Amino acid sequence: VSALPFIRPESRPTILYGRPRGVRKHRRSIEPGGHRTASYRVSAERLTGNGPYRVVVRLRFQAVPVNLIAAIQSVGFDYGMSPRQVADAVVANGDVIWEREAVIALEK
Amino acid sequence: MERSRYRYLALMLVVLAALGAAVSTGVARADEQLDPTADEDEKHSETGLSGEHDEAGHDHLALSPDPVPLLLDEDLPKRSKPLLELGAPLLGPGKLKRGFTLPTGAVWTPALWVFGTYRTSINVVDFGGDAEELVEWPQRLDLFFNLQLSGTERLMIGFQPLNDGRRFTTYTFKPDDASGWEWEGNLKVRTLFFEGDFGEIFPKLDPMDRKGLDIGFAVGRQQIEFQDGIMFNDQIDSIGVIRNGLSLPGIPKIRTTFLFGWNDLHRGDAEIDPNARLFAVFGEIDTPRSTIEVDLAYVNSELTALSGGDGLYWGLGATQRFGFVNTTLRLNASYALDEESSSVRDGTLLFLQLSTSPRGRHDNVYLNGFLGIDHYTSVSRDPTVGGPLGGTGLLFAAVGLGRFPAALGSSADESWGLAVGYQRFWDSDRTQLVIEIGGRKRTDGGTDEAAVGARVQRKLGRRYLLQLDGYVTEMDGGDTRVGVRSEFRVNF
């Protein structure tokens, strides 16, 4: 890390590497036609009985992650908004693009 | 005699530091006079993009409930213009130019930007024993002309008019028999390449972007660097073709680059091999956990009495994080398909990098190590970049200016070693200090070495950097090598 960050076009051909020097953008998205399976665990202390339990799974879309708003808040926002207001609006205006409900019976 | 030598060097360090402080004060004031907003960088960087707490103890990653007015153009730090810009300003605001349309359908909006870096330093080295000291004042200028045509197409030309490879325009104070000026001025073209994307140059062939014609290419004299400079770090005449954005089940990104090089190849000994022809394929894969690099290269060359010969090389790399610890593991190997020569030898290099930032700060703590088996040689290495171990740390890295040697050298032959360091930032990152301890243990019975070193960098205004380096190396057998340097850098 240099004490003098200075942005200029790279002196090497960027296109051969697919990314700038010294930067790694780790792509963890789902490839076209691909899928991922997520695992969730709920500790026994948080259960309220023997069930059955209704599980609602939602796939949400949100314009930006909230921590990005925190990172850029120093440059300010339009319309006199505070960073907190912008973050709340981003979360509130996210869309649920897929939802599924299921009932789970616990094995004794 | 030895004690007086250390006093001399310590005095030099104090003088250099005092000179540096005086220069930094004067230059910073001059820079502020030229640009009253020079401290704007500092003001805005203090608003906490790093997650640190300010002097009032506020956490800058917390979302403020108070309105924050949008900064206008006049409130933002002034951009640092290049030496020359024609057409669209580099990183500057304004209206987009109309440009012109090629017969292929591509729209180009040419802009020429001229930029570069000037470096000068005073290097002082006491090699220990009876060897004469080195005191020199080298110069280096990297000058680039970038003709940007579109977001993906550009032509780049570069010169290094004050150095010819590892020979720099230098005034030598010591040794006495070499004192005086050495002039290495030249107008050799160091960089000349065109890069672009086939699909962007010929958009009429696929107006709906469905045929997968986004094939990138770069042709000319260009810097090639793979495996973080271990396997390949040189400027060669070559043509490369890349296919990016491929995917497989469970793997969202695959990048594959094919490269053919025909000229200006510096082999593992950093000497040009005029007979060498390079064939290589480089791949990078993003798995959910890691970024994996898989690289393979073959050099065809005529074997002479002292150099040359065919070589086969491969490299593997994996970069990932475990919690808050960044890790990179690399394994590289070279094989001399003919007899071994100075150009290529058999060998293997294992390399590990660990780093993290202390909680609440963006300082950097690192631990890097290597194991060199036999005599690993890179595919191609520029004379100014040193050996393949430069990424181990400051003590192993070449400075790329003059004849100042690394504290522990950057050759990977038959040895293992490590470096531990801490990088600390102050004053809104305008000042940084790196302290590093390292060592190398030879496995062939050669001389072991241990060293401690430090580097201080101070940003002056927006374009200037003052850097002080120093190290002390203890060699097996009692000899001590001491190096001190002070560098001034101008970016434009």
Report ipTM for this prediction: 0.80
Q: What is the per-residue pLDDT for B235?
A: 94
* Percentage with pLDDT > 90 across chain A: 48
Predicted model pTM: 0.84
> Residues of B numbered 372-391 whose beta carbons fall under 8 angstroms of chain A's beta carbons: which are they?
none
At residue B420, the pLDDT reads 98
Give the per-residue pLDDT at B285: 94
Residues 68-107 of A with CB under 8 A from B: 69-71, 73-78, 80-84, 87
B348 Cα to chain A: minimum distance (Å): 24
Question: Inter-chain contact B218–A84, Cβ cutoff 8 Å?
Answer: no
Counting other chains too, the contacts that B334-339 makes at CB distance below 8 Å and 24 or more residues apart are B334/B268, B334/B376, B334/B377, B334/B378, B334/B379, B335/B311, B336/B309, B336/B310, B336/B311, B337/B309, B337/B310, B337/B311, B337/B312, B338/B303, B338/B309, B338/B310, B339/B303, B339/B309
Please answer whether residues A77 and A83 qualify as being in contact, where contact means their C-beta atoms are separated by less than 8 angstroms: yes
The CA distance from B68 to B76, in Å, is 14
Q: Quote the tokens at residue B95.
A: 């209206």
**Cα-based torsion angle of the residue sequence B425, B419, B294, B288 in order, rounded to the nearest 10 degrees:** -50
Q: What is the pLDDT of residues B157-216, one digit of tens each?
A: 999 999 999 999 999 999 999 999 999 999 999 999 999 999 999 999 999 988 888 899
**For residue range B319-336, what is the model confidence (pLDDT) as tens digits?**
999 999 999 999 999 999
Closest Cα to residue A16, out of B315, B211, B319, B281?
B281
Quick check: B144 and A11 CB within 8 A? yes
For residue A82, the chain B residues in CB contact (below 8 A) are: 63-68
CB pair distance less than 8 Å for B224 and A77: no
Question: Number of Cβ pairs closer than 8 Å across A and B?
Answer: 153
For an interface test with B, the pick among A1, A2, A11, A24 (most B C-beta atoms closer than 10 Å) comes out as A11
Residue A86's closest chain B neighbor by CA?
A: B63
Read off φ and ψ for residue A99, nearest 5 degrees.
-145, 145
In 3D, which of B378, B364, B399 has the Cα closest to residue B332? B378
What percent of chain B clears pLDDT 70, i.e. is strictly above it? 88
Contacts of A74 in chain B (CB under 8 A): 44, 47-49, 60, 68
Q: In terms of C-beta density within 10 A (0-12 exposed, 13-18 middle, 19 or more buried), how is residue B165 classed?
A: middle
Chain A residues in contact with B142 (beta carbon < 8 A):
11
What would you report as the CA-atom Rg of chain B, rounded to the nearest whole angstrom? 25
In the prediction, which pLDDT does B93 show? 84
pLDDT of residue B48 exceeding 60, the answer is no
Q: Is B113 on the interface with A (CB under 8 A)?
A: yes
Radius of gyration from C-alpha coordinates of chain A: 22
The listed range with the strongest mean pLDDT (A47-51, B50-54, B322-326) is B322-326
For residue B121, what is the enclosing H or E element?
Answer: strand B111-126
d(CA B423, CA B343): 36
CB B86 within 8 A of CB A95: no
- The answer to whether A22 contacts chain B (CB < 8 Å) is no
Please give the structure tokens belonging to residue B492.
């434009």
